[in-house]
Amino acid sequence: MPPLPQRITYRVAVEKSPGMLGAMVTAIDRSGAEVVATARTSEQRHVVFRDVTVEVRDEIHADEVAATLVELEGVELLAITDEVLAAHDRGKIRVEVTREVDGPGDLSLVYTPGVAKVCRIIADNPVAAYRLTIKSNAVAVITDGSAVLGLGDIGPLASLPVMEGKAMLLKSFGDVDAYPILVDEQDPDTFVDTVARIAGGFGGINLEDISAPRCFEIEGKLRQRLDIPVFHDDQHGTAIVVLSALMNAAKVVDRELGSLRVVVQGIGAAGVAIINLLRAAGIDDIVPVDIDGIVEPRRKAGLDPIRRRVAKQTNPRELSGDKAVALEGADVFIGVSGPNTLPLELVRTMSEDRIVFAMANPTPEIHPDVARGHVRVMATGRSDFPNQINNVLAFPGLFRGLLDAAATAVTDEMKVAAAEGIASIVGDDLADDYIVPSPFDRSVVPVVAQAVAATARAQGHVRPGSQGSLETETEAAEQQAAQRAVQRAIARQFSGEAHAD
């Protein structure tokens, strides 16, 4: 598969001569690139300054286009801007204040002496931090940089653009204040201890890009130590969206979810989480496979502790052998493994209404063009094909709901509720090529948030005394009125003192 195209902007000075712009565009076209935009920025007596945005194959191709412009008579190349680098210039997030400080009165309220009263309130009742500080809307996006996208172990600093991106999406989609936290430590116990020591200022923890199997140990130990939700998005975000897509795919093929025979290929972080959530949703016939074949207890090769546990919990028909055995008669293939690892001849051995989620990125286990006509429902992780399985459908709404409820944990029931919420957005528009909503559908987050918050409250996994644990709108209104009264009292007390100074 060819690499994904990149966009480069070339700033040029073009002589004011008839046909010069056309000649430049023609030269770029001949170099194999495509001009997608051109904008006049300014002009002088004899030249026009333009920004020409060009779609190129890769960095080498970008250099070739630049050389073409340098050699073109009547055109001077002034600057080159990589669209990706420009989008990351000085970072993608920032801190903003919720109240301006315009004079002594404001300062006395938000800092000294007013802040001392708030500190005493929290010291006496720590739950008050949920209404008097940012804690109620704050999530830490934490990584060690050991499994970043397709780049592998590049270290925490190099992972910062990804963590910024996750924080940006949490804010843009869920209005969650998220902060990238880089932990330069790969010993699981030390990592856990570090995170536990800084967790007090946050209402939730989003673990990101941590390699397996360490990620399982880290998440488990943090859940035991902390009284706020801990969520590893690479595991559970993927699992939630897969489950939501499968819920709707089952409807497309007119099957009950629990009746499906499912093969999951790839027993890493995402694969294990998918298996666990599918089981929680009522699917029993799940056969896990990896590079050595079916993961089952009798197998001698490649059975680490995680795979042993998966083997004991799955494969009720006790299949053994290679992937071909697992796929024969299967209804669903879910791939979170590697590119081009699902041959078409094996797809043809599956049941008649085949469901294939090939989510290796950017090259799926089987390309949709290859599978077309042989698969009833096809999904990938890519945005250029229908049915994109994208974590952004899950984590903004999930954290919005967890924070709204002041939840103390994330449970399987909450994840299933999130999946049901995502699936419900599709509604009557359900079709083979539309089983999940677009990641840009702004109706997803409130639906998911409401489902998650309601489940958290129903299960009792909310902080006693916090606004999130209130059971009725009347109680919520009373709580808000009391908060406003406290704020007015603080304002009256300290604004007078500040003006007197």
Q: What positions carry a catalytic annotation?
A: 111, 166
Considering Cα of 396, then 398, then 403, then 408, what sign does the dihedral take?
A: negative
Contacts of 268 (CB under 8 A, 6+ apart): 212, 336
- Classify residue 462 by its DSSP letter: B
Strand order in the sheet with 6-15: 34-43, 47-56, 6-15, 75-82
Q: φ, ψ for residue 485 (rounded to 5)?
A: -65, -45
Measured in residues, the chain has a length of 501
With vertex at residue 415, the alpha carbon angle to CA 181 and CA 339, rounded to the nearest 5 degrees, is 75
275-305 b/e (C-beta count within 10 Å ≥ 16 → b): bbbbebbebebbbbbbeebbbbeebeeebee
DSSP per-residue codes, 61-126: HHHHHHHHHHHSTTEEEEEEEEHHHHHTTT-S-----SS---SHHHHHHHSTTHHHHHHHHHHH-G
Could you give the CA distance from residue 1 to residue 410 in angstroms, rounded to a whole number?
A: 38
